[in-house]
């Protein structure tokens, strides 16, 4: 039984109403800060590690990997789809099994600590052992060329990724951090310690302070990641390790203060129930779950299946638009400029999130779940539509736009668009998605949520990656007004078409899911 499950019986005593200004900006009571601030800083640290490792993995793929002889710079982007399909997806499925096994044996508390500790060990090994010897561990361009020439064209990307296995491994771990720490562990923990009457106030505002994590990560990437030498990488890995250790400290602190907060501010009549809740939080008693049972319940439960459709739709949409953005960036920027732009992307995402969260928190309080959930795909539809227009414009209409190079302008617009929709994703999409789990019974949460978050998130990206891999199996070039392009950019009309199809599927799923959600919260 989680803390939020009992919140209908728990109401803060003698709460004062906020002023209209305070209600809009920061509707948190003073006694709630002991829980709200640590939870926000916990998400801050998680997002900081995610943004920093996410920026580094893209830099490694584009500028540290060896390709085949004669490969264009933008063709490094094609490795991303292969990594997500052939490496990230299988590892994610494996993590569902491992996560379920850990939950069965140790409960949520120890599972949280084991997973974070495992990442700490990996980043330590990567920074101090693997990366300093990366030149000896990856194959040369000559060996890669011989290797891919002796295999079917369809396996070219897979073989190149295997030849650069240290960076492929880092890419996988960075993706798993986002899937496990953000989508699964943090929001499961937030659902446990946040009361139902706090959800609409807390969930939206968690991103207010935590969004600064992506800003700091972006600044660090801009200043330290332009030079990917051994010393710089060791510094960056050390920063990640220290932040991950901080996550463990904050998590333990929040667990300790929950009972004290409830005992002080909630009626004595509910104390017995509170003690039961706190005992469950402390001991983390979970229903024993077979490792495949979460996946089975996902396909049997239409409610969870629709939640999975939302996540997959987001994954496909963001992956297709990101792949066009990154291909455009690698087309016009060198390594130093690419690192600057990657850092700028994180900074923009954090700044936009800080602004968006003020409005999103009020949207959650003022409007229905359906309205709140529709904002994210509509942002993709409008802003993504403008970005896709710039891609088509630079290829088929004109080499200049508003007196500027259309290629550079499209790259910049892609960065701003990506930062904008991700800021909405962190503040509204994640929040509305997490609200969907609250009315579920504990058994369904335990069995289904991890499968939905891990498989849904990776399946979305893997689906778009599979489509790209099929396209790359039939290599072609596209004649544009600025010259001939290959790789991802050669398939931009197809990618853009699928992008819009997935956004409309996303919107349709929200309408279907809203009816089921309204029934459950009645």
Domains and CATH numbers, the chain: 30-521 (1.20.1250.20)
Which of the residue ranges 3-7, 145-149, 285-289 has the most confident prediction, judged by mean pLDDT? 145-149
User: Could you read off the pLDDT of 367-394 as tens digits, one per residue?
Assistant: 899 999 999 999 999 999 999 999 999 8
Contact by Cβ (8 Å): 203, 434: yes
Which of the residue ranges 39-43, 125-129, 204-208 has the most confident prediction, judged by mean pLDDT? 125-129
pLDDT for the residue numbered 7: 41
The structure tokens 């499968």 sit at 451
pLDDT for the residue numbered 482: 63
What's the burial of 331, exposed, middle or buried (CB within 10 Å: 0-12/13-18/19+)?
A: buried
pLDDT for the residue numbered 234: 96
Q: What percent of the chain has pLDDT over 90?
A: 43
pLDDT for the residue numbered 155: 85
- pLDDT band at 16, cuts 50/70/90? low
The reported pTM is 0.81
Contact by Cβ (8 Å): 79, 161: yes
Is pLDDT above 80 for 485? no
CA distances from 293 to 48, 183, 368, 501 (A): 33, 19, 32, 31
Mean pLDDT of 479-500: 80
Nearest to 319 by CA among 384, 392, 396: 384
pLDDT for the residue numbered 380: 97
Question: What residues are paired with 480 via a beta bridge?
Answer: 483
pLDDT for the residue numbered 226: 81
Question: What residues are paired with 485 via a beta bridge?
Answer: 478
pLDDT for the residue numbered 266: 53
Is pLDDT above 60 for 432? yes
Is pLDDT above 90 for 503? yes
Q: Which of 69-83, 302-316, 477-491 has the lowest mean pLDDT?
A: 477-491
The structure tokens 């290797």 sit at 147
pLDDT for the residue numbered 443: 67
pLDDT for the residue numbered 280: 46
Is pLDDT above 80 for 358? no
Contact by Cβ (8 Å): 56, 268: no
pLDDT for the residue numbered 489: 78
pLDDT for the residue numbered 374: 96
User: Could you read off the pLDDT of 214-223 as tens digits, one per residue?
Assistant: 999 999 999 8
Mean pLDDT of 230-247: 96
The Cβ of residue 483 has, within 10 Å, a number of other Cβ atoms equal to: 11
Contact by Cβ (8 Å): 328, 391: yes
Q: What percent of the chain has pLDDT over 70?
A: 85
- pLDDT band at 484, cuts 50/70/90? low
CA distances from 473 to 82, 144, 466 (A): 11, 17, 11
Is pLDDT above 50 for 33? yes
CA 204 to chain centre: 16
Mean pLDDT of 228-240: 95
């Amino acid at each position: 039984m989680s803390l939020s499950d009992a919140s209908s019986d728990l109401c803060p005593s003698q709460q004062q109403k906020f002023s209209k200004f305070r209600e809009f900006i920061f509707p948190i009571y003073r006694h709630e800060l002991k829980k709200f601030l640590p939870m926000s800083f916990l998400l801050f640290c998680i997002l900081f590690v995610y943004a920093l490792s996410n920026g580094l993995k893209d830099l490694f793929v584009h500028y540290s990997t060896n390709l085949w002889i004669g490969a264009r710079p933008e063709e490094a982007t094609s490795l991303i789809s292969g990594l997500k399909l052939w490496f990230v997806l299988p590892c994610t499925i494996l993590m569902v099994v491992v996560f379920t096994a850990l939950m069965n044996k140790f409960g949520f508390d120890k599972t949280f600590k084991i997973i974070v500790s495992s990442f700490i060990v990996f980043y330590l090994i990567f920074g101090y052992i693997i990366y300093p010897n990366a030149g000896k561990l990856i194959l040369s361009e000559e060996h890669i060329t011989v290797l891919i020439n002796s295999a079917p064209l369809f396996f070219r990307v897979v073989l190149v990724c295997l030849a650069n296995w240290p960076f492929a491994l880092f890419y996988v771990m960075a993706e798993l951090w986002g899937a496990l720490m953000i989508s699964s562990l943090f929001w499961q923990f937030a659902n446990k310690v946040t009361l139902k009457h706090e959800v609409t106030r807390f969930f939206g505002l968690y991103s207010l302070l935590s969004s600064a994590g992506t800003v700091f990560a972006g600044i660090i990437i801009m200043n330290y990641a332009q030079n990917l030498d051994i010393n710089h990488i060791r510094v960056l890995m050390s920063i990640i390790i220290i932040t991950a250790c901080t996550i463990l400290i904050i998590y333990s602190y929040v667990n300790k203060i929950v009972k004290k907060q409830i005992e002080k501010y909630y009626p004595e009549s509910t104390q017995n129930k509170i003690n039961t809740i706190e005992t469950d939080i402390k001991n983390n008693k979970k229903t024993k779950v077979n490792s495949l049972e979460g996946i089975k319940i996902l396909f049997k439960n239409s409610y969870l299946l629709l939640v999975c459709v939302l996540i997959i739709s987001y994954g496909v949409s963001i992956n297709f638009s990101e792949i066009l953005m990154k291909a455009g960036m690698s087309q016009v920027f060198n390594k130093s400029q690419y690192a600057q732009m990657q850092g700028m992307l994180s900074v923009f995402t954090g700044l936009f999130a800080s602004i968006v969260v003020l409005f999103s928190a009020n949207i959650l309080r003022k409007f229905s779940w359906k309205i709140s959930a529709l904002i994210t795909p509509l942002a993709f539809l409008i802003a993504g539509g403008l970005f896709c227009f710039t891609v088509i414009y630079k290829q088929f209409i004109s080499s200049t736009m508003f007196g500027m190079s259309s290629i550079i302008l499209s790259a910049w617009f892609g960065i701003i668009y990506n930062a904008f929709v991700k800021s909405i994703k962190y503040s509204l999409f994640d929040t509305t998605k997490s609200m969907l789990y609250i009315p579920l019974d504990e058994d369904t949460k335990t069995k289904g949520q991890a499968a939905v978050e891990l498989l849904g998130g990776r399946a979305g990206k893997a689906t778009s990656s599979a489509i790209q891999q099929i396209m790359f199996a039939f290599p072609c070039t596209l004649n544009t007004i600025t010259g001939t392009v290959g790789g991802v950019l050669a398939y931009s009309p197809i990618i853009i078409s699928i992008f819009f199809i997935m956004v409309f599927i996303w919107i349709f799923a929200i309408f279907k899911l809203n009816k089921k959600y309204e029934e459950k919260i009645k």
